[in-house]
């Protein structure tokens, strides 16, 4: 698997690897050296990870110039890794960590599968798709210039531990009082300062209304807790119990990465989505629109954050509306079918193994 760099690339790689390892296959996951990768991989003792080389293509001229020598280094590193590990298939999940191993495997005749989670495919996926054995995309999304028979509908692989649980059980697991409403604030694996500041600015109001808050601040982000008799507001850089965090929350305020949306659906957590305005190809806006049109979430742009508190407090008081959103989330989760990429990976790997005999 080539799946590092952000949580949105890493989480589906982990999910697919969990399924493969569970069924007796051997997997090696190439991740980046970023802190977020180290935090996410720490709990998966059964999986094998290796830190690869590479860097993103921008933004800015300086980063673009640095990309090319880094890419050459990543090619050499990927060639050595493929020679040592001798995989029967490679699955890429986009981002800068995918390009070098995909090119190396293609040159060496190893099947390359690429998975795109977002409704607007990224640059790396668009490039790799030109030579990939198969391309797995969200339902209804297709790439021009790629033969139709190589393109497949695919959902988002969700990690095994991201499952719904009873609210009281989930609250106990993450140390939040069982009584009162709870907000989950998640700015993606990198955190979102705009959301952290919003929580800090409304601590007094949360206490007044008896609302608990778990705010995930991202790698190297704020870590503290503010308790009053009425509420608990906790800031954490990272949470290893995301299934419980989603299940404990009455409402989430999140970015709109494809992984976050799939996990919200899996745990039936209504949300207000604030797409990251600088996301590549504005893909988070496209993801958010899909969820909003399904009735599973509300949309709030970064420019409208001043109105966020009003939307939050209104929605938390409308039980019927929250229930309707949970029903829509259940429908979305039911259609999040990603078994095909699992079966395709196993089929391609077995065919490659037979060809080597």
**Positive or negative, the Cα torsion across 300, 302, 242, 29?**
positive
What pLDDT, on a 0 to 100 scale, did the predictor assign at position 64?
64
Residue 29 lies in a domain: yes
Range name among 59-73, 249-263, 336-350 with the lowest pLDDT average: 59-73
> How far is C-alpha 130 from the chain's CA centre?
24
Is the predicted pLDDT of residue 59 greater than 90, yes or no? Answer: no
What pLDDT does residue 190 have? 60
Average pLDDT over residues 81-106: 95
- The answer to whether residue 193 scores a pLDDT higher than 90 is no
- Whether residues 13 and 145 share a domain: the answer is yes
Six-digit token pair at 45? Answer: 């003792």
DSSP per residue, 226-254: EE-SS-EEEEES--S-HHHHHHH-SEEEE
Per the structure, the complete domain to which residue 67 belongs is given by 7-157+338-356
Residue 273 shares a structural domain with residue 129: no
Identify the CA nearest to 48 among candidates 14, 22, 74: 14
Alpha carbons 108 and 97: distance in angstroms, whole number: 18
Say if CB 235 and CB 215 are below 8 A apart.
Answer: yes
| 16 plus 77 within the same structural domain | yes
Res 339 pLDDT > 90: yes
Output the pLDDT for position 99: 92
Q: Has residue 2 been placed in a domain?
A: no
315 and 345 fall within a common domain: no
Q: What are 36-56's pLDDT values in tens digits? A: 899 899 999 999 999 988 766
Q: Are residues 139 and 194 in the same domain?
A: no
Q: Is residue 144 part of a domain?
A: yes
Mean pLDDT value across residues 1-23: 94
Tell me, yes or no, whether 22 and 82 share the same domain. yes
- Residue 60: the pLDDT is 66
Residue 244: closest CA among 174, 335, 346: 174
- Is it the case that residue 301 has pLDDT exceeding 70? yes
Distance CA 261, CA 272 (A): 11
What span, in angstroms and rounded, lies between the C-alpha atoms of 205 and 279? Answer: 31
Total domain count, the chain? 2
Average pLDDT value for residue range 58-81: 79
| pLDDT value of position 98 | 93
Helix ranges (DSSP H) in 25-163: 35-41, 61-85, 96-107, 123-128
Write out pLDDT tens, residues 98-150: 999 999 999 999 999 999 999 999 999 999 999 999 999 999 999 999 999 99
pTM: 0.92
Q: Are residues 306 and 215 in the same domain?
A: yes
**Does one domain contain both 125 and 20?**
yes
Average pLDDT, the chain: 93
Asked if 98 and 180 sit in the same domain, the reply is: no
HSE-CB of 11 using CA atoms within 13 angstroms = 24
Residue 277 confidence (pLDDT): 86
Q: What pLDDT is attached to residue 332? A: 97
| pLDDT of amino acid 147 | 96
Q: Does 263 reside within a domain?
A: yes
Are 98 and 199 in the same domain?
no
Q: What is the mean pLDDT of residues 146-164?
A: 96
Burial class of 128 by CB neighbour count within 10 A (0 to 12, 13 to 18, 19+): buried
Lowest mean pLDDT among 22-26, 67-71, 271-275: 67-71
Is residue 287, in this structure, part of any structural domain at all?
A: yes
Q: Tell me the residue length of the chain.
A: 357
Percent residues over pLDDT 70 in the chain: 96
Contact yes or no for 187/255 (Cβ under 8 A): yes
**CATH classification at residue 325:** 3.40.50.2000
Question: Which residue's structure tokens are 């069982």?
Answer: 178
> Do 84 and 99 belong to one domain?
yes
Identify whether 322 is part of a domain: yes
Residue-level pLDDT at 95? 87
Q: pLDDT per residue over 221-235, tens digit each?
A: 889 999 999 999 999
């Amino acid at each position: 698997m080539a799946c590092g760099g952000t949580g949105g690339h890493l989480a589906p790689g982990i999910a697919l690897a969990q399924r493969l390892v569970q069924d007796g296959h051997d997997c090696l996951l190439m991740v980046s050296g970023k802190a977020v990768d180290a935090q996410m991989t720490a709990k998966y003792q059964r999986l094998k990870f290796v830190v690869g080389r590479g860097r993103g293509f921008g933004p800015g001229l300086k980063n673009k110039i640095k990309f090319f020598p880094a890419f050459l280094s990543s090619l050499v590193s990927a060639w050595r890794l493929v020679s040592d590990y001798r995989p029967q298939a490679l699955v890429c999940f986009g981002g800068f960590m995918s390009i070098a191993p995909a090119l190396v495997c293609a040159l060496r005749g190893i099947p390359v599968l690429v998975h795109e989670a977002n409704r607007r495919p990224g640059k790396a996926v668009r490039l790799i798709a030109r030579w990939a054995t198969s391309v797995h995309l969200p339902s209804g999304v297709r790439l021009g210039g790629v033969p139709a028979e190589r393109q497949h509908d695919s959902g988002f692989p969700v990690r095994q531990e991201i499952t719904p649980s009873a609210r009281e059980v989930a609250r106990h697991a993450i140390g939040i009082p069982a009584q009162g409403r709870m907000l989950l604030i998640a700015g993606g694996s990198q955190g979102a300062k705009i959301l952290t500041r919003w929580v800090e600015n409304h601590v007094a109001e949360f206490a007044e209304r008896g609302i608990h808050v778990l705010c995930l601040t991202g790698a190297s982000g704020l870590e503290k807790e503010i308790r009053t008799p009425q509420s608990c507001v906790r800031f954490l850089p990272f949470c290893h119990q995301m299934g419980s965090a989603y299940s404990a929350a009455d409402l989430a305020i999140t970015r709109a990465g494809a992984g976050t949306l799939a996990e919200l659906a899996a745990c039936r957590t209504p949300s207000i989505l604030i797409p990251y305005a600088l996301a590549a190809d504005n893909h988070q806006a496209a993801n958010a629109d899909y969820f909003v049109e399904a009735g599973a979430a509300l949309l709030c742009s970064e420019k409208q954050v001043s109105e966020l508190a009003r939307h939050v407090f209104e929605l938390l008081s409308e039980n019927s509306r929250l229930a309707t959103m949970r029903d829509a989330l259940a429908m979305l989760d039911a259609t999040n079918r990603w078994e095909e990429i699992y079966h395709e990976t196993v089929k391609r790997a077995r065919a490659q193994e037979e060809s080597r005999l």
